[in-house]
Each structure stands twice: as C-alpha cells, then as structure tokens.
A and B are shown apart, each in its own frame.
Chain A
C-alpha cells in the first residue's frame, strides 16, 4: 500500500508529452484516458539550515527518513477507447497494463508513472472510479514484483494521476484546457487513500527551468561512437565484441537507413573534419528513414481513422442513437 516511505514531491511534464495528451484529448470525440510514462529521480535532501538547530538533525537522510522523488512525465499511451484497462468498479486489468508497458518501453529507461483521464466540462476533482483506478494501478504494480524486496529508497510505483478538462465557447473561438496533477497518498495508517493535488511543472516553460540547461545530459538513440584510440586497443575483438557491435548496428539502424558503424567511427577523432560528405550522408539517410516512417504513420493513421469511424457508427447503431 502507499506507505509513507517515499514521497513524490515534484511532478514535471515535458512540453511535447503534455501537447500530445492535449492533442489526443481534443481529437477524441468523447472522454479519453491512458498511461503516463517517464522516470522518477531522487531529489537531493534539503539543505540543513544553520539558524534552525532542530532541522539539521531531522533532515539528515537517516535510514528511516522518507526519500523524496521527482517524477518526470515524458510520454503517454492512449488506446482511444475509454475504460480500456480497467472495469466499471475501477479494477485494473493487469494484462492490459503489461501489454501497454511492453509496447511503449523501448529501452529508454522509462517506466509507468501512472495514468491520466480527460473529461470535457467537468470539475477537476477525481471521481469515485478514478480514485479506485489509481489505487488499483498502484497495487497491481507493487504486487507484480514480489521478488524484489521493497528498499527504502527504491522509486515509488505508479502513483501519479493527471486529470484534464476542457471547454470551448459556442463558436469554438476560445478553447480552455485545464489540468491538475495528483499523487496517491495514504492519509493515515489504515486510513483511506486520497489523491493529493500536486503542482505540475511544464519543462521549458517559465524561468524555473534555466537550471536544467546547466545539468542537461544528452540522451541519444545513436550508439556510442567508437573512437580511434579505443579501436587500437582492440576492444572489438572476440565474441563479446561482435555481439556489442551487432547491438550497436541495430541501434544505428533505428535512426538511419543503411549507415555502417565503421562510417560512424570516421566522424569522431582527429580526422573527423575530412569526412563532411560522410556526415551529410548520415543526415540524408536519417531524413530518408524519417520520411519512410512518416509515410507509414500517415497510411496507418488513415486506416485507424477509418476503422474508428466504422466502430463509432456501429456503436451508435447498437445504442439506438441513429
């Protein structure tokens, strides 16, 4: 159960992730819901203050003190139909959760943080089912990994809930989007679980995020570029080296069309400047890959839309709405 040994103190969401949720919501005819993905980061313990003698002892990260976490939402997954992964009394279907997490996790280290619910023209308060779903999702994920003993500072399971509402004026000239983030928390031992409103920071909006530029670590789909010096050491020799090279080539294949690892090796090191054409080649092949992906997405989107329209027509007929 949501014990107090961990706390999600901050929730931030990447601009594109929020935009894609909003887009998903505004393109859906009715209400929508889905999963939130991202990662938890441990927050540094607060600085002890010299002027307050009691605080310098209490905030020291002792073995029993709670570890504070910050949650960053970087992605979402929505199936398009409401109540796709839970039932009418708010119980999670573990298979759906597993399927969704398997299809979305692509080695980015992103984990399931929680879920979101979008409903037009309603108050931004969790409904009775939403609270039950949050509770059940949390339980499903904590019970799903019994082999791992619960460590004091292991990251919290999915306890984030994002509630969105939107409304528009009659002539559709003004659209208002509202959102509120919640963290599932147990009020008292043995007490009821509540979804506690928590502020949501949108990354890159506002001056609060200046600091992030300083601590930015690039995250790339490209494999580590083998530098010339390392090549001399012959680290690629042997079966293990071959395996690593194969994995790196596969990673590279995700980003470009037919660009060899050896070509990539030319781009770094002292002779890099001579291979401008190689770099342009890499860029061109990346664009090619993107174009192919885009046309695939376009075609499949058209098919999905067609199917969705068919489904909605059939649903209407079934419900006697025609």
Chain B
C-alpha cells in the first residue's frame, strides 16, 4: 500500500487543533484520499471517546473544495442518529432548527482551525442525548427511576448495547428488573489500570431499598480516595527510582508517568547485564520484582537470556528509599554470580 497523501493545510490545521486542544482523547485511525490523482487526502476516521470506549466517525471533506464544510458518516449501529434532521429524536422542529442555525456547520469557516473541534463536540453532545433517549425508551420502571435520579450528576454517559437489559455508565452496571441490588460492574480505562490495581477495588455494600442515586456518591467517594492514594504512591515510587541512580547509574529507561518500571545497566567484570525493576501498585508494601537480562548471552532463537523474576530478597517497607536501593544493590552483587553461571549453562546447552 502506498502511503496516502497529506491533508491540505486548512483541513490539517483543523484536525491538529482538535487533537491538541480537546480535553477528550480523540484519535485518528486512518487518513485517506477520495480524489482522483490528488496530492491531498480529504477524509479520515475519527475515534470519538464515548462511554469509556470509542465510536468511529468517518469525516469527509473534499480536497478540491477545502472551504466546504465536512460531512460525517456514522457507524452502522447509529443509523437512527441523524443530527441534521429537523425534529430528530422527538425534538420540536423549531428547536432543532434553532440549533442548526447556531451550529458551527451553519456558517462554516474553513480558515478558523477551531471549527472542526466545535462541530465534533456539538455532534458528540447530541449523540450523548440520543443515547440517553434510547435508554429512556426502555420500558422498565426501576431503570427509568434510576436513570432519572442520576443523570443530573456530572459526566454521566449512558448507552444501550446489544439488547435491552444492559446500560453502560462510565461505571457500568447490569440491571435485573426486580427491586433487588443491581449487578454492578466497574469498567476502568487502561490508564487507570496502570495507576492502581483495579481488581482490588471493593464495592460498598448495597442496603435493601437503596437506589443508584444514593449508592453512587459513596462509591465515588471511595474510588476518589483510592485514586488519591494511588496518585500519592506514584511519588513514593518516583523517589525509590531516583534513589537507585547513585548506586546503579542513570536508568536506561523508566516509566515517567506512573513510575511502575525502570531498567538499569549493570556491569561486573566483563559481564554486562540489565536489571529490570517492576514496581507493583502496592509498593512499598510489596517489594519490586527484579529481572536480570544478559547483554552477552542469547538462546538458540537469538533472544537475550532472562533470569526468573526475583522477589524473594531482604526487604522492609519501613526502610527509606536510599536504604532500599543500598540493600538491593548488595543483593544483586551476590545474585549476579548465580545469573552469570545460569547464562553460561543456558548457552552451553
């Protein structure tokens, strides 16, 4: 496949503005050209964040008429979502007409790079409303009550997925129609998983006769506290990695955001090897897992030889960071002899 040509300057500026200035993590999946022998591309697939997932919109420009406002093709499941139709979604025609007239499509200005961002945000807001209406159509008194009481909370997005019995919030939950406690499932984004161990989150207990609007605040509070703690623990991990530097030298590689991983180069005599530190979310309660990797020995497939994960060495969470580094260094001075022998044996086989 030949690489697709670039977007024309005006369109490219709009897309860049969208990706840089929007607080939501929009992504571009693919850029391609819809013109004959054109030097420019004019369409792309935009991944729009919604309900902790992405929905795909194909944004279609015309490279020969770059001043013309773009058009959007929604995904197959969103056939009923038609934001430009007057009276769409049961809105009164005057209302939707009024919306259209103040939408950024109405007087499109391709020279203004912020236009695409505005348009996408407007359509996304309509999409959120549309999904709310779809969920609202489910004929279930309990669900209706729950949704109505929690929708006023900030940042709640709901959508209907495959069938009529599942509703996804940023925190998703599954309902049964009986007045018993709903089955609640927390869904976390992958970034959150890096921050703290999601599996350990304990849900507050459900009291009979409770409703979501009562339950959510306490759940949010507990989650908030846990996230604050997790953020605080990043500092602890960062200090530990920094304390390793005086003994091991500067790290070859370190995870700068969550401080969960760091790799150092170590030398004993002529034997050079890497030390990978893997820090769990429970650090310093749990000691870091060390893995050694030889820079000189390779197995028959050509992959460098790795030690087994080492997590059984002297450790106390009460030590300060420099002492932790010191103790690990001492341990490794002894352990590297074993590892060197292990490498020789592995190569000899």
Name A63-117 residues within 8 Å CB distance of B: 81-83, 88-90
Chain B residue contacts of A90, Cβ below 8 A: 84
A315 located at the interface, meaning its Cβ lies under 8 Å from any Cβ of chain B in the complex = yes
Query: A29, B73: Cβ atoms under 8 Å?
Result: no
Asked if B34 and A170 make an inter-chain contact with CB atoms under 8 angstroms apart, the answer reads no
The stretch of B102-110, B184-192, B279-287 that contacts the partner chain: B102-110
Interface size class of B (residues with CB under 8 A): 35 or more
Q: How far is A124 from B86 in the complex, measured between Cα atoms in Å?
A: 23
Q: Counting CB contacts under 8 A, is B62 at the interface? A: yes
CB A136 to nearest CB in B, in angstroms, measures 8
Q: Is B60 an interface residue (CB 8 A)?
A: yes
Residue A30 at the chain B interface, CB threshold 8 Å? yes
Instruction: Assess whether B63 is in contact with A192, with CB atoms less than 8 Å apart.
Output: no
Of the residues A120, A128, A319, contact of B71 by C-beta under 8 Å:
A128
CB distance from A46 to the nearest CB of B (A): 28
Most buried by A among B58, B62, B73, B84: B84
**Least Cβ distance of A173 to chain B in Å?**
14
Docked CA distance A193–B32 (Å) = 30
CA distance in complex: A128, B80 (Å): 10
Q: Does B100 contact A (CB under 8 A)?
A: yes
In the complex, the answer to whether B62 meets A125 with C-beta atoms within 8 Å is no
Q: Which residue of A lies closest to B100 (CB)?
A: A89
Cβ A320 vs Cβ B10 within 8 A: yes
Residues of chain B within 8 A of A170, CB atoms compared? 1-2
CB distance from A32 to the nearest CB of B (A): 10
Hey, which chain B residues are within 8 Å of A129, CB to CB?
71-72, 84
In the complex, B64 has a CB within 8 A of chain A: yes
Instruction: Give the chain B neighbours of A215 by CB distance below 8 A.
Output: none
A122 proximal to B (CB < 8 A):
yes
Chain B CB within 10 Å — which of A130, A316, A321 has the most?
A: A321
Q: Least Cβ distance of A261 to chain B in Å?
A: 49
The answer to whether the Cβ of B89 comes within 8 Å of any Cβ in the partner chain is yes
B103, closest chain A residue (CB): A89
Give the nearest-CB partner of A316 in chain B: B64
- Residue B9 CB within 8 A of the other chain: yes
Contact of B65 among A125, A128, A315 (CB under 8 A): A315
**Chain A, range 199-239, C-beta contacts under 8 Å to B:** none
Indicate if B35 sits at the interface (CB-CB under 8 A).
yes
Query: Is residue A39 contacting chain B, with contact meaning CB distance below 8 A?
Result: no
Query: Do A321 and B66 touch (CB < 8 A)?
Result: yes
Q: A120-B34, A120-B35, A125-B73 are in contact. Are A192 and B89 (CB under 8 A)?
A: yes
Nearest Cβ in chain B — how far from A26, in angstroms? Answer: 8
**Are A30 and B73 in touch, CB under 8 angstroms?**
no
Interface contact B82-A89, CB-CB below 8 Å: no
**Chain A interface, >50% SS class:** loop
Inter-chain CA distance A157–B39, complex, in Å, is: 41
How far does the alpha carbon of A82 sit from the alpha carbon of B63 in the complex, in Å? Answer: 11
Partner of A190, one of B37, B42, B73, B90: B90
Is there an interface contact between B10 and A125, defined as CB atoms closer than 8 Å? no
Contact check: which of B32, B62, B79, B85 meets A121 at CB < 8 Å? B32
In angstroms, Cα B36 to Cα A126, docked, is: 22
Cβ–Cβ < 8 Å partners of B128 in chain A: none
Residue on A nearest B9 in the bound complex, by CB: A320
Q: How far is the CB of A265 from chain B (nearest CB, A)?
A: 52
* Residues A131 and B60 in contact, CB atoms below 8 Å apart: no
Question: Which residues of B have CB within 8 Å of A88?
Answer: 68-69, 105-106, 108
- Does the CB pair A30–B8 fall under 8 Å? no
List the A residue with the shortest CB-CB distance to B99.
A89
Task: Please tell me if the beta carbons of B82 and A131 are within 8 angstroms of each other in the complex.
Answer: yes
- Is A119 located at the chain interface by the 8 A CB criterion? yes
Instruction: Known A121-B32, A312-B64; judge A192-B40 contact (CB<8 A).
Output: no
User: A170 vs B80: C-alpha distance in the bound complex, in angstroms?
Assistant: 35
Smallest CB gap from B67: residue in A? A319
What is the CA–CA distance of A131 and B71 in the complex, to the nearest angstrom? 11
Minimum-distance CB pairs A-B, first 6 = A132-B84, A88-B69, A30-B64, A120-B34, A319-B66, A129-B71
25 example contacts (A-B, Cβ-Cβ < 8 A) are as follows A29-B35, A29-B36, A30-B35, A30-B63, A30-B65, A88-B68, A88-B106, A88-B108, A89-B100, A122-B43, A123-B58, A127-B58, A128-B71, A128-B72, A128-B84, A128-B123, A131-B85, A170-B1, A190-B90, A193-B82, A194-B80, A312-B64, A319-B9, A319-B10, A320-B10
- Other contacts beyond A129-B84, A192-B80: 15, CB < 8 A: A29-B35, A29-B37, A29-B38, A31-B34, A88-B108, A121-B34, A121-B43, A123-B58, A126-B73, A127-B72, A127-B73, A128-B73, A135-B86, A194-B79, A321-B66
> Which A residues are within 8 Å of any B CB, using their own CB?
26, 28-31, 81-83, 88-90, 119-123, 125-132, 135, 170, 187, 190, 192-194, 312, 315-316, 318-321
